[in-house]
Amino acid sequence: MKKLTKTLYIQVLFAITAGVVFGMIAPETAVQMKLLGDAFIKLIKMVIGPIVFCTIVSGIAGMQDMKRVGRVGGKALLYFECISTLALLIGLAAVHLLKPGAGLQVNPATLNSSGVASFAARAQHQNIAEFLLHIIPDTLVSAFTSGDMLQIVLVAILFGSGLAMLGVRARPVLAFIENASQVFFGIVRIIAKITPIGAFGAMAFAIGQYGIASLLPMIKLVGTFYLTAFLFVTLVLGAIARAAGFSIFRFLAYIKEELLIVWGTSSSEAALPQLIEKMEKLGCSRAVVGLVVPAGYSFNLDGTNIYMTMAVLFIAQATNIDLTLTQQLTLLAVAMLTSKGASGVAGAGFVTLAATLAVVPTVPLSGMVLILGIDRFMSDCRALTNIIGNGVAAIVISAWENALDRDRMKQVMAAHHAPVELEFERN
């Protein structure tokens, strides 16, 4: 029992439970606990950039094969777009089948849109041209100071490619980056020790600020979203996992600590460094993991895609607006783009929703008020689905590249926990 309580995921689970209870019995004080959750997420984000940079650079420079880098990137983007499209379609089908907004009879004229004005304002800046230009940082350093994932990935790919071209002369620099990577992962392990505190603060704030009672009016939408996400993970990602030679349930057991961190903080980025390390320990190629996982945080947002189509159609149903097939297909195309455009933006789920509604003007933007109070609880599910999808993508792309140690994967997954004690060699 004593050994069990020392396990991180048990500590995080206890902290989340304590946060829920504290938020219910002392909501005003619990709201002030937001500081703890925000501090933990900032600590993690502090090292995300260097970890992603070091992982990608050492992977690309180690391969010394730019054709392979392009091949991996191409396969990853193809996979991302196929799965993202499927997620959008599943969200669309779920709303049509379960109709969570039917019967609410909301008059759009009675809705006060002031609560979502800030999200709408940020959404106006999300377009394809600005998104593509935004990928290029003003300077090499600004990519890290801004913390923008795609900018860091671009700088890392260029730096790694430059090292690969130097050949033998690049070995001292590559060795330094390898050692720096170990240091940064060591920092993450130190920060991980306070994960329960961060999870407690974030959950206490959520319950104290919004209250579980806020879920009741929209319980059908929340239930529909969680059910759809669950079916997507178990059936769609489960089928992909089976085809790739592993069980989705064993994979979920393997990353249970990361899932609890994401659930407690409502941020998939809070577990990004740990996910990268665990995918490598699982037997995935370091080069593949370094490219696929960071890029997936912008291009493979399965949970966000499900959420957007469901949210738009929910608002349409609640306000008695019938969307034509053309409008729904336009919605899918727009959502595919806006989900990428809001990468790295605070409140990204709501920003992408606002940007999508702006292109489908038949559905009132003020309708976002209907889900504003429950978005924090739906955000948990979005983040969980996103991180699971990116983990599966890393394994699948590694398998496609014949860069997956299947024996190691079976050994690690069979253990049902992170192989902290196992020695491993980075690919």
What is the chain's Cα-based Rg?
A: 21
From first to last of its 427 residues, the chain has per-residue pLDDT tens of: 555 556 776 788 888 888 888 988 888 888 888 888 888 888 888 888 888 888 888 877 766 666 777 788 788 889 998 998 899 899 989 988 988 877 776 666 665 555 555 555 555 555 556 666 777 888 888 888 777 777 888 888 888 888 888 877 878 888 888 888 889 888 888 888 888 888 888 888 878 877 776 566 678 888 899 999 999 999 999 999 999 999 999 999 999 888 888 888 777 777 888 898 899 889 898 878 888 888 887 778 888 888 888 888 888 888 888 888 888 887 787 777 666 644 444 456 666 777 677 666 677 777 777 777 677 778 888 889 989 999 999 999 999 988 888 989 988 888 765 444 333 344 4
User: How far is C-alpha 387 from the chain's CA centre?
Assistant: 5
- What would the two tokens of residue 136 be? 């290029």
Sequence-ordered list of residues with C-beta below 8 angstroms from that of 270, at least 6 positions apart, any chain: 40, 41, 44, 198, 261, 262
Class of domain 2-415: mainly alpha
* Residue 114 DSSP one-character state: G
Bridge partners for 404 per DSSP: 284
User: What DSSP letter does each residue of 28-61 carry, written as one string?
Assistant: HHHHTTHHHHHHHHHHHHHHHHHHHHHHHHHHHH
